[in-house]
Structure formats: structure tokens, C-alpha cells
Amino acid sequence: MTAPARAAGASPHWSQPAVRGEHRWPALSAMIVVIVLQLLLPDRLAIGPTWLLPSAEGALALALLIANPVRLERDTVLIRRLSLVLVALISFANGMSVFFLIHSLLTHRATNDPGALLASGGEIYVTNIVAFGLWYWELDRGGPLARAAAERETPSFLFAQMTAPDVAPPGWRPTFVDYLYLSFTNATAFSPTDTLPLARWAKLLMLVQSAFALVTVALVVARAVNILP
């Protein structure tokens, strides 16, 4: 968009205020998947009892569901903080699971069952994707409610639909599914694909995610191959 157009008060199509808030269920469904995966982890890869942090995460998710049961339309400082605390808890729990897994592999204390090892690694890997997808969704342009209200125009991620408005549906804006896809491609390709990080925090967060994914995949696969019959 040209400078004169911006000076005249024009704004990109994706930064216009939304008529309705984003659906709650895609993000909530991803959180439920993560909680289930954390409950399935072996005790040695969890902090304390395996039910402890998932229970706290479930309580926070329930509170957020009560606040916005269908669409994200109600926002307060408390709701915003609870959302960030929930994502932080998921990330902390998964980060510690990565640490415990690496430690057990390096000290040769990991299970000798390749199936169980691959399952644990897969659970951590999927949780990593969802956790960082939630971070991208919560932080880009102030979060889903701030994006819907068009409170901030400058994005932290440049999606393909932003640069090609002619092929984007009217009123298009990124939702949780777009950020989950961004997280998945970053965890599998270990680099940006069709979505570019613009903000420094976004680049650093993607760097950390790629590092976690790379270490998890490399060590788990290497160990599993070594103990296969």
C-alpha cells in the first residue's frame, strides 16, 4: 500500500475491525489435546504427579470457556492474563518434559522400548507445536480480541493473504488455525515457509521452537533406531 493511501486514512483489508469475534473452539480443542497428551506422558517426563499441571491448565481453560463460551468477544485484564498464564503453563510443562527427555537419553536412563520412546517424543513434539501456535495467536497484534477490534495495525507475522488481497476472502484475518499451521511448518521445516516473522520477538520465538523440535526429533529418532531389533 502506498504512503499517500495510508496518509489519507486507508488501512489494509486484514486490519479492519471484525463484525464478530473469533470462534473459541479451535484454540480450546487444541488445549484439550495438549492436556490429554500431558496426562499420557510417563511420570519421569512430568513435573511432579502427571495430573498436577494438566489439572491447573484444565481449570484455566474452563474459566476462559465460561468467559467466552462460543466466540471471543469479552475482554478484561483478568481474562487476558489468564490466557497468557495458561499458555505459559503449557509451555513450561512441555519445556521441562523436553529437558527430562534429553537428560534421560544422555544418561542412558530412557526406556529401551522404541515404541514407548517414539510415543513420548511424539507427544512432546505435538505439544510443542500447539504451545507455540498459541503463543503466536496470543501475541500477534495484541491477541485475538485486539486483532478483531483492530487496535493495532502493525502485524508481527506477514501471511500470504496480507500481500495478495485479491485471492483472500472479504474481511480475511488470521485465526488460530493459521497460527497453528505456522507453528507446524516451523517445527517441521525448522524455518519460515509462507508466513514471515516481522517482529524480533516473533523471530526469537520461532528460533526457540525450531530448536526444541530439532533436538527432540534428532535425539529420539537416533535413540529409537539404535535400540530397534
Per-residue pLDDT of 104-152, as tens digits, reads 888 877 777 778 888 889 999 999 999 999 999 999 999 999 888 888 8
Which residues, in sequence order, are bridge partners of residue 157? 197
With b meaning 16 or more CB within 10 Å and e meaning fewer, what string describes 12-21? ebbbeebeeb
Give the pLDDT of residue 167: 82
Mean pLDDT of 17-22: 78
Q: pLDDT, tens digit, for every residue of 159-216?
A: 998 888 788 887 788 999 999 999 999 999 888 888 999 999 999 999 999 999 998 8
Q: Tell whether 45 is covered by a domain.
A: yes
Measure the CA–CA gap between 68 and 21, rounded to whole angstroms: 10
Q: Using CA of residue 204, residue 188, residue 211, residue 54, what is the dihedral sign?
A: positive
Instruction: Give the DSSP H/E element, type plus range, for residue 197.
Output: strand 196-197
AA letter at 90? I
Q: Of the candidates 180, 183, 147, which has an alpha carbon nearest to the alpha carbon of residue 72?
A: 147
Measure the CA–CA gap between 141 and 95, rounded to whole angstroms: 25
pLDDT confidence band for 223 (50 / 70 / 90): confident
Q: Tell whether 8 is covered by a domain.
A: no
| Parent domain of 201 | 21-227
Mean pLDDT of 38-62: 91
Length of the chain: 229
pLDDT of residue 1 exceeding 80, the answer is no
Q: How buried is residue 74: exposed, middle or buried, by Cβ count under 10 Å (0-12/13-18/19+)?
A: exposed
The DSSP 8-state label assigned to residue 164 in this structure reads -
Give the pLDDT of residue 10: 60
pLDDT confidence band for 26 (50 / 70 / 90): very high
Q: Of the candidates 197, 199, 162, 198, which has an alpha carbon nearest to the alpha carbon of residue 12?
A: 162
Q: Tell whether 11 is covered by a domain.
A: no
pTM score of the predicted model: 0.89
How many structural domains are present in the chain? 1
Q: Tell whether 221 is covered by a domain.
A: yes
Q: Tell whether 66 is covered by a domain.
A: yes
Quickly count: other Cβ atoms within 10 Å of residue 164's Cβ.
9
